Amino acid sequence: MTKKAFASSADLAEKAQTLEVLADGVYALTAEGDPNIGAIEGEDFLVCFEALATPVAAREWLAKLRQHTAKPVRYLVLSHYHAVRVLGASAYGAEHVIASQDTYELIVERGEADKASEIGRFPRLFDAVESVPAGVTWPTLTFAGKMTLWLGKLEVQLLQLGRGHTKGDTVVWLPQEKILFSGDLVEFDATPYAGDAYFKDWPATLDAIAALQPEKLVPGRGAALQTKEQVQRGLAGTRAFVSDLYASVSAGAKAGRDLKSVYRETVDRLRPKYGQWVIFDHCMPFDITRAYDEATQFADPRIWTAERDVEMWKALES
């Protein structure tokens, strides 16, 4: 077995970014499997969804968005706390940064550790990391369950539909346009990162997304899903991955096997079906470690630190 480079440290190829207009005033930036983000234009201002990894990266996105609208960003909505999606926040000049109360609590508990951990895992996305302000990105407004923003006549709902990718996942739902921004709860042709996940809850959260009957869905990574059929495929693919991985890991744990042997077996089992998805090799050690924890003795995800990342990687990939 050849030794794999740690996480995405060897992933250095730039991805092409595309600004897609999903409906009048509804924008998504997709990037061939790199993190996606979005923006919604009201009469007077913009709501932006997620912030990219650095202010420099966020400014490049804003320059693209400025070809369509010059309105100020009033609200920046964070789908969850992961550094790769929040550390660019300062570039937006938003009046308010909104997150769920659960996400706020995770930032208090593990925001600093996550920042150091993620910068180590994915140096390409954190190019220009020196533009990130010291400390972590704090929400200025929090909510529990549901919050509605009115952009003139356009209704924008921020919804917590259950735990999945993290404890605090928030989706943005446009009920009139039937467009949903899922954050990392749904991925398409990209491997779900589940190092901080709740495997047992995730499928029900996907059910709650499906129940909204979105006609378009912007996943956390991968192409924007532009028809009901594509949305179904995105939801089904994410569900299958989460369920297959947890079934394999929990069966191994139940049989009393150790993490390393469960890891080997699960990677071999999942690779034929999912190995072509981006960041598969990056995610598997984290995802399987978390699934093993959840199946054994840790109801809540343990905090990843830069040191724990490397120790885990060495233990599983050596």
Nearest 5°: the CA angle 94, 61, 80 is 60
Spatial CB neighbours of 164, under 8 Å, sequence gap ≥ 6: 185, 197, 198, 201, 202, 205, 206, 242
Q: Which is nearer to Zn ion, 102 or 184 (CB)?
A: 184
C-beta of 34 vs 184, nearer to Zn ion? 184
CA 303 – CA 166 distance, rounded (Å): 12
* Of residues 165 and 239, the one with the C-beta less far from Zn ion: 165
- Cβ atoms of 277 and 190 closer than 8 Å: yes
Shortest distance in whole angstroms from residue 112 CB to Zn ion: 16
Q: How far is the CB of 61 from Zn ion (least distance, A)?
A: 18
Q: Please identify, among the stretches 131-139, 184-192, 224-232, 308-316, the one whose residues bind Zn ion according to the rule CB under 5 A.
A: 184-192
* Chain residue whose CB lies nearest Zn ion: 82
Size of the site for Zn ion (CB under 5 A): 2
Nearest-approach distance from CB 290 to Zn ion, in angstroms:
12
Binding mask 59-88 for Zn ion (x = CB under 5 A): -----------------------x------
For 180, list phi and psi in degrees, rounded to 5.
Answer: -125, 135
DSSP 145-164: SEEEEEETTEEEEEE----S
Cβ atoms < 10 Å from Cβ of 262: 23
Binding of Zn ion by 184 (CB under 5 A): yes
The minimum distance between CB 183 and Zn ion, in angstroms, equals 7
Residues in region 254-293 near Zn ion by CB under 5 A: none
* 96 neighbors 141 (Cβ within 8 angstroms): yes
Answer yes or no whether residue 110 interacts with Zn ion by CB under 5 A: no
H/E element holding 190? none
Give whichever of 184 and 281 is closer to Zn ion, judged by the CB atom: 184
Q: Which residues bind Zn ion (CB under 5 A)?
A: 82, 184
